[in-house]
Structure 1
């Protein structure tokens, strides 16, 4: 893949790999050449799409992601679009929406090995070779997944909240999310004001409370869910 501008490349790498946060904001890259318009526009659209999805605005996410796709298409760089599609699917997974990453799958033949490895990781079918290509933080959580306490410590060590939620979601998908892991995910989503993942993780807590027979806790969680939804907000699909 051709060398991309630092801003968009770092953003996509950080979100898709779910490891590092943006190291260079468009407005702060004054020391280098001014990025092409498409980079700034695509970056903003991807950020807006992600924010819309996490707060529960499905239509807004679709609209902004299509805008990002249009900007990236101007470059003809299929590998970059594959990376953007993975970024989108990672945000979905953080909200416990586990589904085929169709946008990425249509482009996987043009994806780089790290993206292919992350796609396998996101789908819960990563091999040892795939895990070796993941960033250190993701490898740390995956390696510690069999030990709840170690996995929880690895999650807490992730500074980026979306990174933490995605890693927690993958533990949940594998049936290895401890109550403390679920609580950490709830707290992370709550602190960020991310309605969609918050509702998903609160629902996990409520279902577990009901299964354990703790109806008082289940009722408390139901009240919290209702409060998040509000009187005029419809349930997020």
Structure 2
């Protein structure tokens, strides 16, 4: 699994958690193991391997609960839910985080609301900097985001709030494709396919179906 591309987004959400990512003393083993498990969990989900994703998430949860700190566990749950938004699984509640909400930080609560497309204007400043423009409904926000996962999360929020223009969809497809992330790629290709079908663009719809079949590693559909 390629976790390199995930690290900026993970570190953004876990700021203050892992001393190993700074110049300070070596972090305790439980922190290193929690981060490693979250890296692998996120990568597995994006690649379409739910079994590995959940196994690694449970390992991360086990390590984080050793601290007795709800805010640290909340970080992992938010990252877990962010992968869903990036992959357009928008009807799945972030239930594990909601159980922790009373003891989460204000910034974490704002991020959870953002993932649902419901962040309040006064809370936008609490979000990671890369997400603030998208939270404000700016479809051009993706151009300023370099981290792939952050870009897909922003695109997912824009889509669920009705602010995703064709350029957002195209950038999301390109980002998922470049990372080899099968799950979000299929989701965003599906969005583009529906647009082509609704617009009566038969040739483009057929092309997208072939690409979806290729991404699924299935035989391409035969057009009558």
| TM-score, scaled to structure 2 | 0.87
Cα root mean square deviation, aligned: 2.1
CA distance in 2, matches of 1:126, 1:231: 39
- Structure 1 stretches of at least 4 aligned residues deviating more than 4 Å after TM superposition: 10-13
Query: Does residue 219 of the first structure (1) align with residue 211 of the second (2)?
Result: no
Change (3 A) 1:181 1:11: closer
Task: Answer yes or no: is the 8 Å Cα contact 2:9–2:149 preserved in 1.
Answer: no
Change (3 A) 1:80 1:12: farther
2:96 aligns to what SS in structure 1?
helix
Q: 1:82, CA displacement in angstroms?
A: 1.0
The residue aligned with 1:126 is: 119
Query: Does residue 81 of the first structure (1) align with residue 73 of the second (2)?
Result: yes
CA distance in 2, matches of 1:115, 1:206: 34
1:1-237 equivalences in 2 (<5 Å)? 12=10, 14-15=12-13, 26=20, 31-98=23-90, 99-145=92-138, 151-152=139-140, 154-231=141-218
Task: Answer yes or no: is the 8 Å Cα contact 2:148–2:175 preserved in 1.
Answer: yes
The residue aligned with 2:4 is: none
| TM-score, scaled to structure 1 | 0.83
Q: 1:141, CA displacement in angstroms?
A: 2.3
